[in-house]
């Protein structure tokens, strides 16, 4: 701290927020999660500056979280966020040492995401009433999530100009504003065509902030993430699927289908937009789990 000037915790958090938004291009949801977790520590230490926090205070904070019954996964997330925050302060030359340097993140059991088989996905798509006003749009939502492995944020921000039906590709703006090309199959292309017709015939007035978007709400505005979540939950219920299903489940199912069919892991990584192939490797574990279940169910000597 130059000139002995005291920097308020609020200013530190605002600078960190700008860093996450402008330099790391993180989503607003991710940024909010970071700030909420750091704010827990700020409240715990009271009037103490975040710049003067000692390792023992961090230990006491984590012990308090454990006493309050916080899960290991949530604790691991908080530790990771705090480490990122203090690394930022060091990079800004406000600190020379990270108070979390000696604190280890709890080891978490490997969590394999819930997936749907092809028949279950088709049952969900078939549950959509195409005679209803949003029918073709809703079918397009499920089709693109499953056929292209899109994140829900990528789906609702997908622009018509980024869909190249002649070439069979969709240009997707992923995390960190990174673009990638994802192949789109013939059935999905037909459904996108149906959605464009629906858009032109059913939503004649399009709001300014939704111009160029493929997926719209019935008022001609951008469709919200919450609306997509509700749609997926509703379709799963109608299809009598007794699993925890979300838009991300269809993305997981897209990847699992490819891996089970023998697709190259690097190709799947590219299509999903994973920065690290380690993230994609979870689907090879899913595949092994599936094979193991087949052996146990059908092999007479298993």
The encoded tokens of residue 40 equal 């827990």
Note whether 199 and 135 are same-domain residues: yes
pLDDT at 20 over 50: yes
Q: Is residue 73 domain-shared with residue 123, that is, in the same domain? A: no
- Domain of 252, CATH number, reads 1.10.443.10
Residue 169 β-bridge partners: 164, 183
Least confident window among 30-44, 168-182, 275-289: 275-289
> What share of the chain has pLDDT > 70, as a percent?
87
CA dihedral 210, 213, 215, 217 (to 10 degrees): 10
> Residue 83 gets which letter from DSSP?
H
**Residue, of 71 and 145, whose pLDDT is higher:** 145
The count of domains in the chain is 2
Q: Which domain, by its residues, includes 40?
A: 2-91
Give the residue numbers marked as catalytic.
151, 175, 248, 251, 274, 283
Rounded Cα distance, 113 and 260, in Å: 15
Instruction: Judge if pTM exceeds 0.85.
Output: no
Residue with tokens 């920097």: 7
Same domain for 212 and 258? Answer: yes
Same domain, 200 and 265: yes
Both tokens of 161, joined, read 């100009």
Report phi then psi at 20, rounded to 5: -65, -40
Q: Does residue 158 share a domain with residue 81? A: no
For residue 291, pLDDT beyond 60:
no
Report the chain's mean pLDDT, rounded to a whole number: 86
pLDDT tens column, 234-264 = 999 999 999 889 998 998 888 888 887 787 7
Residues 268 and 157 reside in one and the same domain: yes
For residue 48, the domain's CATH number is 1.10.150.130
Is residue 103 domain-resident?
A: no
> For residue 235, with 0-12 CB atoms within 10 Å meaning exposed, 13-18 middle and 19 or more buried, which class applies?
buried
Q: How would you label 100-112 residue by residue, b for 16+ Cβ within 10 Å and e otherwise? A: beeeeeeeeeeee
Residues 39 and 124 grouped into a single domain: no
Contact assessment for residue 191 and residue 176, using Cβ atoms and an 8 Å cutoff: no
Q: In the chain, at which residue ranges do the beta strands (DSSP E only) sit?
A: 163-164, 169-173, 179-183
Are 145 and 73 part of one and the same domain?
Answer: no
């Amino acid at each position: 701290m130059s000139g002995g000037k005291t920097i308020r915790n609020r200013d530190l958090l605002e600078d960190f927020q700008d860093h996450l938004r402008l330099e790391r291009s993180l989503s607003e949801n991710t940024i909010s999660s970071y700030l909420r977790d750091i704010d827990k520590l700020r409240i715990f230490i009271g009037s103490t500056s975040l710049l003067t926090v000692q390792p023992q205070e961090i230990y006491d904070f984590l012990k308090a979280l454990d006493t309050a019954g916080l899960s290991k996964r949530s604790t691991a997330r908080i530790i990771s966020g705090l480490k990122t925050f203090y690394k930022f302060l060091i990079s800004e030359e406000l600190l020379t040492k990270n108070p979390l340097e000696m604190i280890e993140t709890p080891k978490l059991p490997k969590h394999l995401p819930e997936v749907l088989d092809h028949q279950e996905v088709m049952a969900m798509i078939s549950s959509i009433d195409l005679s209803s006003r949003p029918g073709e749009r809703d079918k397009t939502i499920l089709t693109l999530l499953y056929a292209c492995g899109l994140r829900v944020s990528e789906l609702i921000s997908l622009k018509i100009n980024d869909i190249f039906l002649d070439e069979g590709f969709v240009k997707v703006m992923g995390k960190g504003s990174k673009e990638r090309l994802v192949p789109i199959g013939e059935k999905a292309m037909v459904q996108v065509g149906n959605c464009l017709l629906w858009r032109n015939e059913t939503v004649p007035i399009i709001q300014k902030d939704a111009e160029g978007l493929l997926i719209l709400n019935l008022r001609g505005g951008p469709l919200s993430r919450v609306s997509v979540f509700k749609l997926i939950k509703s379709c799963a219920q109608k299809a009598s699927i007794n699993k925890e299903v979300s838009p991300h489940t269809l993305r997981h199912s897209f990847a699992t289908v490819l891996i089970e069919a023998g697709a190259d892991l690097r190709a799947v990584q590219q299509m999903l937009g994973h920065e690290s192939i380690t993230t994609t490797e979870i689907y090879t574990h899913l595949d092994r789990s599936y094979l193991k279940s087949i052996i146990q169910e059908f092999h007479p000597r298993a």
